[in-house]
Amino acid sequence: MSAFVRYGAAESEVSRMPSPIIWNDCPVNDYLADPAKGRHDFEDFLSGVVTGTTLVHGQPKGWISYATSNDVADVALQTDDEGWLLLQQRGTDADVVAVTDGENTAGMWKTPSAGSQGSAKGLWFEARIKVVSITDSDNGAFVGLAAPGEAKTSAGGGMTAGGAAMSDIDYVGFAQLSGDCDDLTLVYNEATSGTAQSSTGVITLVADTWHRVGFKIVTKSQGTYVQFYDDGVYLGAATDIDLTTTNANWPGATNMARLLSSIGESGVANGDGIYVDWVRVATAL
């Protein structure tokens, strides 16, 4: 196995680059050398922005950007800030601003099935984000993996209109729900057979403050779990998703897309939204 994750930062240090605690066991070089083993991508959003009916970032990777307003400025590449992407609101309730890969059609990242201990294949995800506002009823946001095709649904961005709750689709990730905007909720759901699950009160958001949030599969003596992290710190067993045996609420063996989104709520103001510096994902095949 080849990992070679050397970012020069302690596991819990707040820095710009991905967290060693998440990526130190990801065989990135093996996946790059043999795509049959797995898939990996680190998107730093350094590509330009193309205007049009559908806004496009980094077309070779299938990144599609969508804004209800169809205004390119609502998905703005902050070129003076090392490629930060701003999903920006314009003060209109229920407006959607979303970015997804797979051209909003294909799921490029397959989640592992739940089952017997140690059988789950690898899954790693992390993103560096910050929100503009933490005032309740301003904005909803989601960062994670979700069912393909969600950027341009009637609600949009994987959330119900106004960003008050997640839509009933397959997903796993992090949500700023508009009823409690200083809380970043850990969320996952299996739409066909499960019930939406969440952990609140774990990550406290501060306006204009960066977080590196992520999750990965971990197998230990007790079983196989999805573990969550914030700024390189493991968030604890209480937030784990147990994949040791069948888990009806986990969206296993599902082709997912990276989804980054912002939805305006009743109190949304011009300029609210979410910044995304980068997003990284890997899955074993």
pLDDT score at 47? 65
Residue 169 has pLDDT above 90, yes or no: yes
Angle CA(82)–CA(84)–CA(256) in degrees, nearest 5?
125
pLDDT score at 7? 47
Domain ranges of the chain: 43-284
pTM over 0.85: yes
What is the percent of the chain with per-residue pLDDT over 70, rounded to a whole number?
85
Instruction: Identify whether the C-beta of residue 182 lies closer than 8 Å to the C-beta of residue 199.
Output: no
Does domain 43-284 fall under CATH 2.60.40.10? My reply is no
CA dist 70 and 82 (Å) reads 25
**Span 262-267, average pLDDT:** 88
Residue 209 has pLDDT above 50, yes or no: yes
Q: What single-letter amino acid sits at 270?
A: N
CA dist 197 and 11 (Å) reads 27
Residue 40 has pLDDT above 60, yes or no: yes
Closest CA to 58 of 265, 260, 274: 260
pLDDT score at 112? 93
Query: For 136-153, what is each residue's pLDDT tens digit?
Result: 998 899 999 999 988 876
pLDDT score at 92? 80
184 or 93, which is more confident = 184
Residue 240 has pLDDT above 90, yes or no: yes
Residue 207 has pLDDT above 90, yes or no: yes
- Calculate the average pLDDT of the chain: 86
93 or 33, which is more confident = 33
CA dist 6 and 230 (Å) reads 19
16 or 200, which is more confident = 200
Residue 200 corresponds to which tokens in the numbers above? 């609140």
